[in-house]
Amino acid sequence: MHIAVNMHSLYDGLHIEKQGMKMKERKKIFRGDRLKQIREVRGFTQDELESRLKLGNTTIYRYEKGDAEPSPVVIGGIARELEVTADYLLGLVDDPSAHLEESELSSIERKLLSAFRRGDLRDLMKIASEEAETEH
């Protein structure tokens, strides 16, 4: 059985494929509504924020409307520029300055995060693969 994990989806849940057939749709978690709200509170136009982040035209509009999702690097840049946490932009916390606490992570999330922080992609893939098999 061949299982592939798309590494770009680790921040929003695993996107798993089995023999080329989708088993789980990738869910969106970036909160475009929060981006729009905090951008307006901070007094930025979409064009100004795109310029500061060196993004293409209409990129912020597409993020806010849910037509596109920013990469983790871009999420970090948006968070820094708007002085909020990435956790807030991802909908993990409701306070713009709060962070998700370790105690709120499941054991599998802790294992995945630990492997990611160590840069051990082999272990990360193994953990994700084992978790996917236990779910089915």
Mean model confidence pLDDT for the chain: 79
pLDDT at 63: 96
What residue numbers bound the domain in which 12 lies? 3-27+102-135
Quick one: pLDDT band at residue 96, thresholds 50, 70, 90? confident
Once rounded to an integer, what is the mean pLDDT over residues 2-11? 36
Is 85 found in the same domain as 44? yes
Once rounded to an integer, what is the mean pLDDT over residues 64-68? 94
Measured between alpha carbons, how far is 108 from 130 in angstroms, rounded to an integer? 10
Is 79 found in the same domain as 53? yes
Is 80 found in the same domain as 45? yes
Is 81 found in the same domain as 55? yes
Once rounded to an integer, what is the mean pLDDT over residues 93-103? 76
- Total number of domains constituting the chain: 2
What's the pLDDT tens digit per position in 104-123? Answer: 778 888 888 888 788 888 88
Query: Which CATH number is 56's domain given?
Result: 1.10.260.40
Is 81 found in the same domain as 53? yes
Is 18 found in the same domain as 43? no
Q: Give me the residues paired with residue 106 across strands.
A: none
Measured between alpha carbons, how far is 110 from 113 in angstroms, rounded to an integer? 5
Is 71 found in the same domain as 38? yes
Is 57 found in the same domain as 23? no
